[in-house]
Homo-oligomer: A and B are copies of this chain.
Amino acid sequence: MAEQGAQVVARVGAVLRVLSAAAGTPASTSRVAEATGLTRPTAHRLLSALAGEGLVDRDADGGWVLGPEAYILGAVAADRYDITELARDAVRAVAHATGESAFLSARRGDESVCLLREEGSFPIRSHVLYEGIRFPLGVASAGLAMLAMLPEAEREAYLARADLVAEWGPAHATAPLRARLAAGRATGYVVNPGLIVEGSWGMAAAVFDAAGRPAWALSATGVESRFGPDRQGEIGRVLLEQAHAVTQRLRAR
């Protein structure tokens, strides 16, 4: 039984996150129910009430999307939380230097969420990441980068509570995951060898907030052939350099 007054709020949070993760693609009532673990009448009721508040909207075909009030909340909250303007040059620099699509992601609890994407110039690109998409911290390269740089106690606590194998496969068991994180701490950047979509690789480096905590990550993704040993060092170097530059800018403000 939830803390009093929290159950509906938690459900609202879950519903909004699902629509956010859908990145503007309308979701059906059944889809929202499934993704949030709610029953369909409950999902429908919450969605209708949220639509009444303008936090969600309904498209012409009955699909649910984030609403105009969500946009306004975000525009106001951007003053405090938005680093995309400050980081945009760095994301572009990664895309330009590596030819791969580059991203800025933030940590949100036990998830990473993609905030910014810059297309790379290389004609074959991975489209696994887009603004709003979320992954567990141990899954996408951005989340791996932030997880690797957390204090050991927090990292181990996460590994203890997160069950990634069920949904993401045995490559996400604790032992291989710890190895990946240890390698990331050694080099400063992490490598995701096609564990979300086979053949789509990613690399990432953490960006630290003013308190020294890994709160964001810069990453690059592309096809496997572009992430071999011959290029990994260079991509890693560029990611580290640009991530460090963003960290410095954040400290300076």
* Interfacial residues, chain A to chain B (CB-CB below 8 A): 3-6, 8-10, 12-13, 16-17, 19-20, 23-24, 42, 45-46, 48-50, 52-55, 57, 65-82, 84, 106, 108-109, 113, 115, 131-132
Contacts and interface: CB of A to CB of B under 8 A. Distances in A.
Contact of A71 (B19, B23, B74): B74
A11 B69 CA distance: 14
Contacts of A4: 45
A33 to B, nearest CB: 13
B73 A16 contact: yes
A228 to B, nearest CB: 34
A77 B74 contact: yes
Contact of A68 (B65, B66, B76, B106): B106
Nearest to A134: B72
Given A5-B42, A9-B46, A49-B6, A73 B74 contact: yes
A71 B66 contact: no
B10 A53 contact: yes
Given A49-B3, A76-B132, A77-B67, A8 B10 contact: no
Given A24-B79, A66-B80, A77-B66, A72 B9 contact: no
Given A24-B80, A80-B24, A113 B10 contact: no
